[in-house]
Structure 1
Amino acid sequence: MFLGNKKRHSRDIDPDEIFLDSSNLPQFDTHQFEGRLEQPIPKLSLALLWGFFVLVIVLFSIRLGNLEIARGESFARIAENNRLERVPIFAERGALFDRNGTPLAWNEPLLGEEFAARVYNKMRGLAHVLGYVTYPARDTKGMYYKESFSGMDGVERAYNDVLGGTNGTLLIETDAQGGERSTHRESLAENGENLVLSIDARIEEALYTRIENLARDVGFTGGAGVLMDIDTGDIIALVSYPEYDAGVLANGTPHDVETLLADPRTPLLNRAISGVYTPGSIVKPFLALAALQEQLISPDEKILSTGSIAIPHPYLVGEESVFLDWKAHGWVSMREALAVSSNVYFYEIGGGLPQGGGNEERVGLGIGKIKSYMNLLGFEKRTGVDLFGEEIGVIPDPAWKEKIFHDVWRLGDTYNTSIGQYGFQVTPLQAARAVAAIANGGTLPIPRIVTRIFSDDETNIGGKVLPPKRTQLPIDSLHYAVVREGMRLGVLEGTAQGLNIPVVEVAAKTGTAQVGTVKKIVHSWVTGFFPYEHPRYSFAIVMERGPSDNLIGALYVLRGLLEWMAVETPEYLK
């Protein structure tokens, strides 16, 4: 039977259409329905079948139209990319120079790569200032999934966009077998700009070497130093010991990187801006400035130091809390107190004295004003230096004590804060900056590393010069003179006599900050400025975690540096 044939009707009935042949019965196949009466397919079934075929054709046509018309442009682009490969044309990263034009970072051809290798000056002490980069990278098929250098620390990170430039694009046409047919430069690479730093690489290395030698000889775990122009904020040297090898971080083996990261001396830490240290007595010039501005004491008024100060015990009735001086200094004025670093003098002007005894009752600054003036001088704030990772430190106050110790603030806490102990923490750069304001008579400079930006078609004496920034402090200029005189007296006959050297007149303040619960570990500090009569540079040096019985500290580093500068860079001492 075939579809579409009409069934014939007969008036006679054929017996074969009704009865099975008896001879055929044994072979009757029930699965094939042999001997079955045939029936026609209903018209409805045929209509449904034809409808299904039509629906399939319509859906196929719609899908084909979507692929060829609606998404044709997209597929055309894919097809184009299959024969046009886009390859980056790497921009040259900008070079770095010190203030004298000495190359600090540059590019050299890298065998087997389209981009150059980043090369750094081997002079010591530069790692934390310059930083390092990571390189462009390919996948297993040789395609670049990272097409640019990335600055990861120091100037390389802070000025990554300026140094990096913009890559160009090269179009490579290939045939079906992957062979190159033609090339077309779609866009040109724009090289990065070059930077001139405020750093003098010679002084940087000399300071680093002296910090390193003292740390190894005496047993300090680390150290940092800053030398800064007091007017412009230009950083002549910014050193952190120990430093790291930029090459290890950029393309070292996993084992080398792990070894560096596991070093207990934390060489990745830039101690000059990210290290926070108990300052000890280097805060005393700043307290003296605040007391003068608040008219709590005159420069010539004297306070008696018998070697300690006693106040009523907060818990034990009839008992006293005793706060020690490092020796009995007798009657001292402000200049003398700065020179000999009298604790009792600064206990009183910082916290006051609630009762008589050896001295009369006195009103001190109090922790609120101490914190306010310290903030004014830039402590517990970022300095604004053009480097990443700067810490702000801590000036302890009642809210801090409540948060850390869940206890109330007491007069003894103010006394300890007044001499730079307790929870007080500062960075070396903060200290050098605050001293700069004392040296220049009240201007707080914004420290900076980069002074000039220039392109390849300019010279390093042209380009864009970055202007210095500074803030004027609301403190009487006469008060700065008193503090400067006290710091100079410290060099002539006080705790900083080791800096009384013929090569340059220095004004300085030393500090020894006890750390840890047993007080057998100390940070050794020296801050100040030079030349004394016509100040040009401020400095701050800290030697980290040395033995308390050691008598050689940060002052020794500075003395060695100044004596070296007198021979190698005398222009800074004039």
Structure 2
Amino acid sequence: MALIRWFKKMSRPRLRELDPDEIFLDSRNLPSFNTQQFEGQLEKPINKTVFYLFTIGVAVVAGVLLGKVALLQVVNGQALAARSESNSLRHQIIFPERGILYDRHGEELAWNDPDRLYITTPGFGHILGFIGYPTAEELTTTDFDHKELIGREGAEKLFNNQLAGAKGIKIEEINVGGGVVSDHFLTMPESGQSLVLSVDADIQAELYQQIKNLSEERGFAAGAGIIMDVTTGEIIALTSYPDFDPNVMATGTNREAINEYLTDPRSPFLNRAVSGLYTPGSIIKPFMAAAALAERVISPDKTIVSTGQLVVPNPYNPEEPSIFKDWKAHGAVDMRRALAVSSNVYFYQIGGGFGGQAGLGINKINEYVRLFGFGAPTGINLTKENKGVIPSPEWKEENFPGQPWRLGDTYHTVIGQYGFLVSPIQVVRAVAGISTGALVKPTLLKADGTATTVAEPLPLANSDLAVVREGMRLAVTEGTAQGLSLPAVRVAAKTGTAELGTLKEDVNSWVIGFWPYEAPRYAFVVVMEKGSRSNLIGGVAVMRRVLDWLAIYKPEYFSI
């Protein structure tokens, strides 16, 4: 009762005098309030029902929260403590999806399904490469994870950073049974970038198939070929025979096939187009001709007579002169015809000199072949690119101590023999330089229009290079490369036959060139490895078949 009386007392209104600015207006009178008569506080009273409901709501929420705390601490406390002690956290690396490789027309060459798969057409192993796990050395020198699949060769290795993407990290809560209780990502994985290669898959396959066919028909051990855009450096085709299946290497499960690759004496893992080194033979002659013209050693119209050999008197024993052979007697030839018929005698004389004819000498020969990019990597950056060998007095002293450089060494060097070694990728780049007057960097990526091709102009007069181009065209119309005379396109070319070993029973067969002759767009090289000396069909036959195929199925490559 006392509590009731107190409540009534407190509820009874107290009378006191109010100031005008303390008046509480009834909500029903607000519309009639005259703001000009009073200033001060105007407050609308809170409805009692609202006040009581608000108080009850606060009390309910507080009760729920207190109940939850009690549930966690008292009811489930022991269970949660046991889970905390028995569960563990595990950091897991999440590998992203690898980027797709396309050919220049959008055909998939490498993709995920979900494993990494590759085009099954033969001829793509070296240019695509494959993926595999890091080696022990790579694990100590890089940030690769031991479960991470990385590019091992070819484009997969060259562009691994772009294709691989970025790894993610996920934290998993693991119970005592090894089950995942919960998980969340610290870092989300980012898929790799897909790339469009410069390669035309159809031309790549055809070039490989024709090299393979001729090897089997004519007994060559191996071969390689490249077709390159002369202005952008884009590789349209780059192949090496024999090849390997990148699907076999990526899965690693077909041990029998892998063992066959490893024991094959032809070394199918060797990318002959980039890592292979070959004696160039007569394909070096266009570059020697350009050097002789630049140094004004000879005019393009002056003739030199080839009787089939060059006889150099021996001052110590006149009865035993030194004889340097031509492959046949060509008669009087100027520079254009010397290139067309591949006269050794002509190039002996402009290289080393003879009688009244001055020669370049070995130092100038070295200077100019290096100017065309020989003796150095091209910048394509594929695995194990070799820089080759350019013979010189220093090279001879290193390899044959105590033996001086002789005139005969210069004669042999100027026709691409002796210790001369070049790679097909170096050759195709140099041929492109002859056709345009500039060296470009070979690339496996198709130009997207945002990057500018960097070409290094050759310090050679275009008029001199034009003479060389005319000689290479004459080789097709009247000389050693007549097999490349086609109605569909005008080709300029140079053939070469490089003798192998001391007995010289085997040879490498070369053909280099470009098309169209009037406005060069593509340079090419084909080398057929270790065939019989008696065989007269080699690199020219391969390139003829490829050009015939292009005329039918890809005539757009012949447009000017």
Q: Which residue of 1 aligns with 2:279?
A: 278
Q: What is the TM-score normalised by the length of structure 2?
A: 0.81
Bigger mean CA deviation after superposition, 365-374 or 405-414: 405-414
Note the C-alpha offset of 1:466: 4.2
Q: Which residue of 2 aligns with 1:304?
A: 305
- What is the SS of the residue equivalent to 1:309? strand
Taking the TM superposition and a 5 Å limit, the aligned residue runs for 1:67-78 are none
Q: Which residue of 1 aligns with 2:211?
A: 211
Note the C-alpha offset of 1:97: 0.6
Note the C-alpha offset of 1:256: 3.6
Note the C-alpha offset of 1:469: 2.3
The Cα offsets for residues 390-409 of structure 1, whole Å up to 9 and x where unpaired, read as: 11111111111111122111
Note the C-alpha offset of 1:125: 1.2
Note if 1:392 corresponds to 2:387. Answer: yes
Inter-CA distance 290–518: structure 2 relative to 1 (3 Å threshold): same
* Conserved? CA contact 1:351–1:411, under 8 Å: yes
* Conserved? CA contact 2:122–2:245, under 8 Å: no
Q: Which residue of 2 aligns with 1:562?
A: 547
Quote the Cα distance in structure 2 between the aligned partners of 1:315 and 1:541: 44
Inter-CA distance 80–96: structure 2 relative to 1 (3 Å threshold): farther
The Cα offsets for residues 364-407 of structure 1, whole Å up to 9 and x where unpaired, read as: 00111001100000001111114221111111111111111221
Q: Which residue of 2 aligns with 1:369?
A: 364
Note the C-alpha offset of 1:90: 1.9
Quote the Cα distance in structure 2 between the aligned partners of 1:447 and 1:129: 13
Q: Which residue of 2 aligns with 1:553?
A: 538
Quote the Cα distance in structure 2 between the aligned partners of 1:169 and 1:80: 24
- What is the SS of the residue equivalent to 1:283? helix
Quote the Cα distance in structure 1 between the aligned partners of 2:527 and 2:379: 21
Q: Which residue of 2 aligns with 1:526?
A: 511
- AA aligned to 1:517 is T
Note the C-alpha offset of 1:345: 0.3
Bigger mean CA deviation after superposition, 198-207 or 161-170: 161-170
Note the C-alpha offset of 1:544: 0.2
- What is the SS of the residue equivalent to 1:399? helix
- AA aligned to 1:155 is A
* Conserved? CA contact 1:492–1:500, under 8 Å: yes
Note the C-alpha offset of 1:316: 3.9
The Cα offsets for residues 16-36 of structure 1, whole Å up to 9 and x where unpaired, read as: xxxxxxxxxxxxxxxxxxxxx
Note if 1:125 corresponds to 2:126. Answer: no
* Conserved? CA contact 1:124–1:204, under 8 Å: no
Note the C-alpha offset of 1:186: 1.8
Q: Which residue of 2 aligns with 1:146?
A: 146
Inter-CA distance 195–386: structure 2 relative to 1 (3 Å threshold): farther
Inter-CA distance 148–80: structure 2 relative to 1 (3 Å threshold): farther
Note the C-alpha offset of 1:148: 1.7
Note the C-alpha offset of 1:136: 8.6
Q: Which residue of 1 aligns with 2:333?
A: 332
Note the C-alpha offset of 1:520: 0.7
* Conserved? CA contact 1:381–1:392, under 8 Å: yes
The Cα offsets for residues 408-450 of structure 1, whole Å up to 9 and x where unpaired, read as: 110001001111111111111111111101111x111111001
Note the C-alpha offset of 1:303: 0.7
Inter-CA distance 179–235: structure 2 relative to 1 (3 Å threshold): closer
Quote the Cα distance in structure 2 between the aligned partners of 1:295 and 1:132: 50
Quote the Cα distance in structure 2 between the aligned partners of 1:206 and 1:256: 24
Note if 1:95 corresponds to 2:105. Answer: no
The Cα offsets for residues 528-566 of structure 1, whole Å up to 9 and x where unpaired, read as: 111111111111100000000001100000000000000
The Cα offsets for residues 216-257 of structure 1, whole Å up to 9 and x where unpaired, read as: 111100000010111111110101001112123222344443
- What is the SS of the residue equivalent to 1:451? coil
* Conserved? CA contact 2:172–2:180, under 8 Å: yes
- What is the SS of the residue equivalent to 1:269? coil
* Conserved? CA contact 2:120–2:245, under 8 Å: no
Note the C-alpha offset of 1:135: 4.9
Q: What is the TM-score normalised by the length of structure 1?
A: 0.79
- AA aligned to 2:398 is K
Q: Which residue of 1 aligns with 2:28?
A: none
* Conserved? CA contact 1:123–1:201, under 8 Å: no
Quote the Cα distance in structure 1 between the aligned partners of 2:117 and 2:179: 35
Quote the Cα distance in structure 1 between the aligned partners of 2:145 and 2:442: 37
Q: Which residue of 1 aligns with 2:472?
A: 487
Quote the Cα distance in structure 2 between the aligned partners of 1:397 and 1:136: 41
Q: Which residue of 1 aligns with 2:420?
A: 424
Note if 1:246 corresponds to 2:240. Answer: no
Quote the Cα distance in structure 2 between the aligned partners of 1:295 and 1:154: 43
Quote the Cα distance in structure 1 between the aligned partners of 2:125 and 2:539: 21
Quote the Cα distance in structure 2 between the aligned partners of 1:192 and 1:284: 46
Please give the root-mean-square deviation of Cα atoms over the aligned residues, in Å.
1.9
Note the C-alpha offset of 1:177: 3.4
- AA aligned to 1:279 is P
- AA aligned to 1:416 is H
Inter-CA distance 82–422: structure 2 relative to 1 (3 Å threshold): farther
- What is the SS of the residue equivalent to 1:146? coil
Quote the Cα distance in structure 2 between the aligned partners of 1:179 and 1:81: 12
- AA aligned to 1:244 is F
- AA aligned to 2:550 is M
Quote the Cα distance in structure 2 between the aligned partners of 1:544 and 1:81: 67
* Conserved? CA contact 1:386–1:450, under 8 Å: no
Note if 1:542 corresponds to 2:527. Answer: yes
Quote the Cα distance in structure 1 between the aligned partners of 2:179 and 2:325: 84
- What is the SS of the residue equivalent to 2:113? strand
* Conserved? CA contact 1:446–1:469, under 8 Å: yes
Quote the Cα distance in structure 2 between the aligned partners of 1:286 and 1:178: 69
Quote the Cα distance in structure 2 between the aligned partners of 1:563 and 1:571: 13
